[in-house]
Structure 1
Amino acid sequence: MASLKDLLAQRAALDEQIAQTKDRERGEAVAKVKSLMAEYGLTVADLSMRAPKAVKTSKVAAKYSNKATGETWSGRGLQPKWLKAAISGGAKLEDFHV
């Protein structure tokens, strides 16, 4: 069985080998990337991430309208407060249909 001192020396040697191998492989990778960039005429700007195009959303036509205030609701999602208040006050949903 190896002593602690021997194991620490082995670890130090391995850490040094890892650092050297990492530097060598990174250098090779950079050289490969530069070669490919030259081959295809790419620049650093070509490698930057571009923002995805915004997805177009279409507006939904209003199905219900408060004629007094001009507020509208498409009928999707939660009912707006003005419509809830009117319905709880005795009005019918059909009264606000556009």
Structure 2
Amino acid sequence: MATYSELMAQAQSLMAQAEQARKDELAGVITDIKAKMKQYGITVADLGGTSTKRAAKPAAAPKYRGPNGELWAGGPGRKPQWVRDVLAAGKSLDAFRI
């Protein structure tokens, strides 16, 4: 009977072989799909996708300027250190609104 270590080594070897086989077959599959799409006039939109990459979400416009010129949009998440310092000093962020 094989040991756990031997079986794990075999499993890792098989996974590496499977990944290599997938990579080897991938180019042919893509070529076949493209040929069939062209043959039948199928577009990416027909398949429920988009033909262009999705644009990155634009950054929010800054709403606050810190004492040293730092900018902050005031969104969710962790506040910048300068904002935490201002709040800890008991000041209002309204004084730093752009």
Which range, TM-score by smaller chain?
Answer: 0.3 to 0.5
- After TM superposition, the score normalised by the length of structure 2 is 0.43
Structure with greater Cα Rg:
1
